[in-house]
Amino acid sequence: MPRMTMIEAIRDAHVVAMERDGKVVVYGEDVGYFGGVFRCTQGLQERFGKERCFDSPINEAGIVGTAIGMAAYGLRPCVEIQFADYVYPAYDQIVSEAARIRHRSAGDFTCPITIRMPTGGGIFGGQTHSQSPEALFTHVSGLKVVVPSNPHDAKGLLIAAIEDDNPVVFLEPKRLYNGPFDGHHDRPVTPWAKHPLGEVPAGHYTVPLGRAVVRREGAAVTVLAYGTMVYVAEAAAQASGIDAEVIDLRTLHPLDLDTIVASVKKTGRCVVVHEATLTSGFGAELAALVQEHCFYHLEAPVRRIAGWDTPYPHAQEWTYFPGPARLAAALVEVMEG
């Protein structure tokens, strides 16, 4: 089975989707000729032509707005926002139009668009290239929100997103593009070529939206994570010596609540970790759901580990980043609680 980086897997997902369906179009800033700032769309314009893969102006509201119109006329746009930090000018189009059109039209129209955007930090991008805005989208009814953690899932989830008749926000942790990252920034990077999840099947396959997966089985505490934090959670479990069960959510909305509840009822404890700021982060929703559905099984309060409530700092990147040491300390505290 071929091994790919996440960049290559995302590119391959585009190829598969565009070959299977002539209505799939791909565009965004520098997406066509240049192949995207991270090269996720490299070669698509040459292969499929300028009518199906092209560059847009630097206008995020225009990118999403035109995608909504294309979708209403029967196309399946997959557009790229160059960094998740740049999505805010398009937020009104996403919330007020894309997420609402099915309901406003009583089902006469759907909005099968996929909005890809690199998310998260760990690359010294500072406050304008490191944000994790997933909670802004999970709060909006009508959107699906996906965060892959590896090349295998990235390809399958992206194909599933493109084929879905609903608008999907597809957040790509940029720190994982070339290899898994467990938060130990001072250690050599492990390439995806040496990781089992770097194996990506050829051709068409999908990873169903709304289905989580247990990455590490355990009996002492459940760790809910997604994106880069999956590997941080695995590293923290190993460092602490605690038999933690690590769940990779993969899709934040719809959420696989059944997998979460089954795990927490087994372990009796839960820690939630995400890179986004703590206050009103998606971890708060997860903690509330665990408390609501697992209250009589909990042996300790649900604990959240997240980025601090500040803009993402450039000079203090690793103080902000929720690394394995901070998470391991939380695991110990929860076990003692």
Cα separation, 293 vs 214, in Å, equals 19
Amino acid identity at 303: R
- Which strands make up the sheet holding 24-28, listed edge to edge? 53-55, 24-28, 76-80, 114-119, 168-173, 144-146, 251-253
Q: Is 292 exposed, middle or buried (0-12, 13-18, 19+ CB in 10 A)?
A: exposed
Catalytically active residues, by annotation: 129
Structure tokens at 103: 């309901």
Bridge partner residues of 156 (DSSP):
none
Structure tokens at 85: 């930090």
**Following CA atoms 154, 155, 158, 163 in sequence, which dihedral angle do they give, to the nearest 10 degrees?**
-150
Beta carbons of 119 and 134 less than 8 angstroms apart: yes
